[in-house]
Amino acid sequence: MKTLKNWILSRQTDAFVELKVDFLHIFRLYVLENGLFRVLIKRQGTLALDRTWSIAPKQDVPWEGREREYVGDFSLPGYQLEQDGDTLRVCTQTLRVTVHQPLWLEWEYRLQDRWMPLAADRPTGAYLLNAHGDGIEHYQRRHGQERYYGLGEKAGDLNRLGRRYEMRNLDAMGYNAASTDPLYKHIPFTITQRSDASFGVFYDNLSSSWFDLGNELDNYHPAYRRYRAEAGDLDYYLFLGPRVLDVSKAFVRLTGKTLFGPKWSLGYSGSTMHYTDAPDAQRQLMKFIALCREHAIPCDSFQLSSGYTSINDKRYVFNWNLEKFPRPRDMTRAFHQAGLKLAANIKPCLLLDHPQYDEAAAQGLFIRDSQSDGPARSVFWDDEGASLDFTNPDTVAWWQKNVRQQLLDMGIDATWNDNNEYELWDEEARCHGFGREIAIKHIRPVMPLLMMRASFEAQLRFAPDKRPYLISRSGCGGMQRYVQTWSGDNRTSWQTLRFNTRMGIGMSLSGLYNVGHDVGGFSGERPDAELFVRWVQNGVMHPRFTIHSWNDDGTVNEPWMYPAATPAVREAIRLRYRLMPYLYTLFWLACSEDEPMLRPTFLDHEQDERTFAETDDFMLGRDLLVASVVEPGARRRRVYLPDNQCGWYDWHSGQYFTGGQEIVLDAPLERLPLLVRAGAAIPLSGHYHCQDSAADDRRRLALFPLSGIGSGTGLLYEDDGESFGWRDGHALWLRWEMHSKADRIDIRFQQEGDYRPAWDVLTLQLPAGEDRPLYINGTRTTTYRLG
């Protein structure tokens, strides 16, 4: 690597200041928004990859990618430029950067009338380029009081300080949730948190890369953190918070809004490899419907594992095994009659003996070998196959035709885009690139992104009036525009239960709000009854709730797998359905306001230093504090209550606690410890199915007023659960203000939108022991009727 050193000012435009570095390289400093800057280096004046698929601040990117130098979707607020000898300063209203000689950057933010230090490059060498290849490096200073978050689904603690991570998409079957790295996704995005301000850095580079966040020390340099990529361009965005929440939301605004899927996608979704691998798979699946009814387990969908495509023991995408599934349309019809949707597993690699392989190869649909015109082959499902090239429009058309004919026309409702890590390690293997050839090393994570987009558009064309639902395991920044995701093929253990929660929160901080885990563990031994119950209780508090398994002993993780524990499992799932109006409102806020659904306890309580300690607690929205039990035999749960200056209520007893203290709650096996923020109101349903909106005719609003004097606001969002009607106002936004006074509680409602649900009366309920009278829009009553 060669360090970039000496620079001269070359030119400036409305969007950027440009430097010439070492008489070879172009260094651009973009001013995109008042609090959003960008650094781009053009090695010897050119880009290794002139396109991006992650940056989508206003609209989705073109299929062929967004031109890397395009800035049309940013406000370009202007900037002040000052040069003083060997320094150059670029300044907006909120953020400024000083360029030093030799080359390193120093960032400051405005706090009232003062400029305060925010971040800085390592002065002893900040930007390094491989003089004879593709490698790039960036070094920043590291300070003692900083915490680091982000990087997507990484294993281990939420604070990434002191560790080294690799971004290389792998099928990490049975991973260790505390230590395995790398995993499935490519999210080169970090949040740096300090007591005064936080900032985010996103490296828009899709090649394999590494982050060192304090693991490495070098006596010749001050403490630093390092980003290294094996190929591509050094192109990063830096944005000011000032809070962690602001940084996460800004990252979503940069890479694209979260997909607003159908309401049924929030319901319980059954799944297991065992059913579709069985010789009588169709009968096994029909039995699942009957068992849900028998055990009174509410369920809204089932995820069809890849065994439905099998020939012998291997998987062949878009191939129905008619011996195991003799009447696929009858099966899908039966699921629909039972009120369940179906999502089918699909894979982007064709084994060499796939029935359609020769046809696809003849059409040039595969990524090509670096040294021949044949398909690039790689190991896949204990055999060898070729990976589809989604940068080829012919591949996209072929894929979408098969999605329609083999899935949607058969009654399948959604696609589960799986095994799409593209473990194809011929780094120079050639992709079509929409007519401009690209080596796979530059765009590996784009392949799953375009795969899910192809599936998304196929579903949307098939049912244009319905919001699509898709799942994908792998991907990169921007995948939230198309799919829900999860933490992959976890291994059954108490440790996984504990660290999967941190992985989910890490994804949520990294812009992936619609996430969950394989409840019960996917691989390994089946969970015992206690672990299974605790895992279900944890899982129902995530946006995605799926029980999925491929247990080593051939058993199946099902809600009724332990008869003695089934009542506790049923109660946990029913709690999720009672909370569905709250969950659905959070889903709406995630998609419309970029609000994370899963939140670390510090996200809304940064003023409380104790909330930054590693914890098994998390927030679901701003109002529910979930204290999952993650240790065997535990029947009491110690919980730290963030100091929110208003207090907390026990969900089960209604007991009030002040914040800023540690309490111990009873945690019998049948109960999830759960607390509610004082000042909140939680909308509840008495219905146990997401899809039958006509039967969902009861609503209750559980009030948790402040113990003293103060106010709070809230929202209930309702619509038909599947259409785009909300775009034209065909939804219900019911907003409220709750005022707690010494002698009464007042709540005022305001309605927006023309949608009217099956319920028309909202019943309000105060906690046990609350004796202040309740007034609704000025009248003493406990009910509110929609206008």
pLDDT at residue 133, as a whole number = 75
Instruction: Spell out the domains of the chain, with CATH numbers in brackets.
Output: 2-151+187-255 (2.60.40.1760), 598-625+633-669 (2.60.40.1180), 680-785 (2.60.40.1180)
Cβ atoms of 351 and 384 within 8 Å: the answer is yes
Report pTM.
0.97
Dihedral sign computed on CA atoms, order 608, 614, 616, 622? positive
Report how far residue 402's alpha carbon sits from residue 381's, in angstroms, rounded to the nearest whole number: 21
5 sits in the region (left: phi over 0; alpha: psi -120 to 50; else beta) called alpha
Report how far residue 36's alpha carbon sits from residue 73's, in angstroms, rounded to the nearest whole number: 13
Report how far residue 342's alpha carbon sits from residue 440's, in angstroms, rounded to the nearest whole number: 33
Q: How many residues does the chain have?
A: 787
Report how far residue 287's alpha carbon sits from residue 88's, in angstroms, rounded to the nearest whole number: 71
Residues of the chain with pLDDT under 50: none
- DSSP notation for 309-349: GEETTEE-TT---TTT-S-HHHHHHHHHHTT-EEEEEE-SE
pLDDT at residue 693, as a whole number = 84
pLDDT at residue 132, as a whole number = 77
pLDDT at residue 694, as a whole number = 84
Report how far residue 240's alpha carbon sits from residue 199's, in angstroms, rounded to the nearest whole number: 4
pLDDT at residue 470, as a whole number = 98
Q: Which two tokens stand for residue 364?
A: 């040039």
Instruction: Tell me which DSSP letter residue 611 carries.
Output: G
What's the whole-number average pLDDT of the chain? 97
pLDDT at residue 178, as a whole number = 98
**Exposure string for 581-606, b = 16+ CB within 10 A, e = fewer:** bbbbbbbbbbbeebbbbbbbbbbbbb
Decide: residue 707, CB within 10 A, 0-12 exposed, 13-18 middle, 19+ buried: middle
Report how far residue 292's alpha carbon sits from residue 279's, in angstroms, rounded to the nearest whole number: 22
Dihedral sign computed on CA atoms, order 645, 649, 654, 655? negative
| Helices 494-509, 244-255: crossing angle, 10 deg rounding | 70
149-205 pLDDT tens trace: 999 999 999 999 999 999 999 999 999 999 999 999 999 999 999 999 999 999 999
- DSSP notation for 232-287: S--EEEEEE-SSHHHHHHHHHHHH-PPP---GGGGS-EEE-HHHHHSTTHHHHHHH
Q: Which two tokens stand for residue 137?
A: 């490096």
Q: SS3 sequence, 640-664? A: EECCCCCCEEECCCCCEECCCEEEE
pLDDT at residue 404, as a whole number = 98
Q: SS3 sequence, 35-61? A: CEEEEEEEECCECCCCEECCCCCCCCC
Neighbours of 44 (CB within 10 A): 8
Question: If you search the block for the tokens 């290294």, which residue do you land on?
Answer: 228
* Angle subtended at Cα 6 by Cα 3 and Cα 11, rounded to the nearest 5 degrees: 120
pLDDT at residue 140, as a whole number = 98
pLDDT at residue 373, as a whole number = 87
pLDDT at residue 256, as a whole number = 98
Shortest CA distance to 304 belongs to which of 417, 382, 458? 417
**Exposure string for 620-656, b = 16+ CB within 10 A, e = fewer:** bbbbbbbbbbbeeeeeebebbbbbbebbbbbbeeeeb
625 sits in the region (left: phi over 0; alpha: psi -120 to 50; else beta) called beta
502-537 pLDDT tens trace: 999 999 999 999 999 999 999 999 999 999 999 999
pLDDT at residue 597, as a whole number = 98
Cβ atoms of 33 and 77 within 8 Å: the answer is yes
Shortest CA distance to 292 belongs to which of 559, 546, 534? 559
Question: If you search the block for the tokens 């890397």, which residue do you land on?
Answer: 68
Q: Which SS3 state, helix, strand or coil, does residue 399 take? A: helix
pLDDT at residue 134, as a whole number = 85
Cβ atoms of 755 and 718 within 8 Å: the answer is yes
